[in-house]
Amino acid sequence: MALRALGCLLYSKNNRSNWEHIRDSETWQLTNTSPSLEILHSLRISYDLMPSYLKKCFAYCSIFPKNHKFDNIELIKLWISNGFIQSSRNNQEPEEIGQQYLEELLSRSFFIVLKDKYPFLTFEMHDLIYELAISVAQTESFNMKVWTQDISPTIRHVSFPDPFYASEDELSGCFNKLSRIHTIMCQGLESSDSEFFLETCILRFKHLRVLWLEHSRFDLLPSSIGDLKHLRYLSLFGGTIKKLPKSFYELRNLLFLNLAGCENLEELSADIKNMINIRALHITTKQKHFPESIGHMTSLRQLIIARCGNLEALFDDILLTSLRMLGIGECPKLASLGIKNLKALEDLFIYKCESLRLSEGDSNELGSLSSLQFLVLSSQPELVSLPGWLKGSASTLRMIYIYDCPKLSALPEWLQNCSSLTKLELEGLPELSSLPDGVRLIPTLKISECKRLSS
């Protein structure tokens, strides 16, 4: 592992002085050290020669527990929220720059890829890489195991243990050592200890950028949540929250909001129109209809709607002209999409929406999808043919995945004219009996469980 990381480092250095600097590093002068410590020091060379923007992003990863399975999209959001992403002169989106940072760290072997299926990447750190992250981040980031642990007052990013096992005096004693905290992570917060914990955090840490409270078991956020004027990222993923206080919608600097899996959440208020800077919204609610005010969220780049059991329709003629990714899944009553003019949309996922009928001839339901590159249609029992509005994406589509659509009997002829299409996966399509002639020339064509399709 250390050799691989150093090899990648040396490969990136193209002049003699860089190589000599690495050769003459004091790290190589270590004696009487254990093999693991020698490897750690060798990896430190690779870290020391990284640009400063990569150092910040890498060190931040130490806030997560050992063997954590990272998700590229969420990790990049955390980097953006903490200001680690440098602006680009060519107007690149911060998410794109963050992806470049991640690819640089991957090229240096600081992460091990576990699963790579565009646009999602799952990866982890080797134990020694994780130890390196802890070592270089010790004054900035801290993963606290028990509340009695000593903690440096310089810490900016902290993962707290379950407060259930700590007294209010212990919590207060720990918080009083800290001041300008930017990230708080605390998973599985119970209702019995959430009120004091959250109220104290909000009162104490006014400069908070990230609040990660996934799988927490409380019904309400404190109304003081609106005081976190610097908050950029809030995740209540998989929680039991029922209502969002009115003050919540005053978080005008919020960029990323994750309410996915919050199946008890009654509604998303029309006041969400005030949150004009949100770039990504993941949502699960009990609503039948979403507020049209979502159309005022002109910064929205990513919208994921999942497990909304009562949802019947999305929006009426809402124009989300900046949206790059749209995911809709496990909404059994959803009958129509009602979104138009998604001219910036690049990634579209639709899965397990049993009542959704997409095959309406040349229907222009989604308007012109002139930028669409990636499409997933999965577990759509009513899908008979690909919707007509996809034809406008013939020149831009790069990857198409179609799974478990029992009534899909044919693919359109225009599919063979998709000049950019490099990957087509067809699985679980028992009625599909033929393919357009040119489709078999696609570089990567995977077909399985399509019993009527001739070979």
In 3-state terms, the chain is what percent helix, strand and coil (to 5)?
A: 30, 20, 50
Q: How many CB atoms lie within 10 A of CB 230?
A: 14
**Low-confidence winner among 10-19, 193-202, 210-219, 290-299 (lowest mean pLDDT):** 10-19
* Nearest-angstrom CA–CA distance, 345 and 322: 7
Give the pair of three-digit tokens for residue 300: 């929205």
CA distances from 197 to 10, 152, 170, 325 (A): 47, 20, 11, 35
pLDDT of amino acid 360: 54
Average pLDDT over residues 125-137: 93
Looking at the chain, the whole-number percentage of residues with pLDDT higher than 70 is 88
Query: Across 201-316, where does the E strand assignment appear?
Result: 210-212, 233-235, 256-259, 280-283, 302-306
pLDDT of residue 90: 80
Question: What is the Cα–Cα distance from 196 to 93, expressed in whole angstroms?
Answer: 38
Averaged over 99-104, what is the pLDDT? Answer: 96
Q: Average of pLDDT values for 433-447? A: 91
Q: Does the pLDDT of residue 54 top 80, yes or no?
A: yes
CA–CA separation, 34 and 349 (whole Å)? 50
Residues 6+ apart with CB under 8 A from 427: 402, 403, 404, 446, 447, 448, 449, 450
The DSSP string of 86-102 is PP-TT---HHHHHHHHH
**Nearest-angstrom CA–CA distance, 420 and 399:** 9
User: How would you classify the pairing of strands 120-124 and 112-117?
Assistant: antiparallel
Q: Is the pTM of this model over 0.85?
A: yes
Residue pLDDT, tens place only, 325-338: 999 999 999 988 87
Q: What are phi and psi of 280, to 5 degrees?
A: -140, 130
Is the model's pLDDT at 451 over the cut of 60? Answer: yes
Could you tell me the pLDDT band of residue 87, with boundaries at 50, 70 and 90? confident
Cα–Cα distance list, 360 to 298, 332, 366, 384 (Å): 29, 19, 12, 9
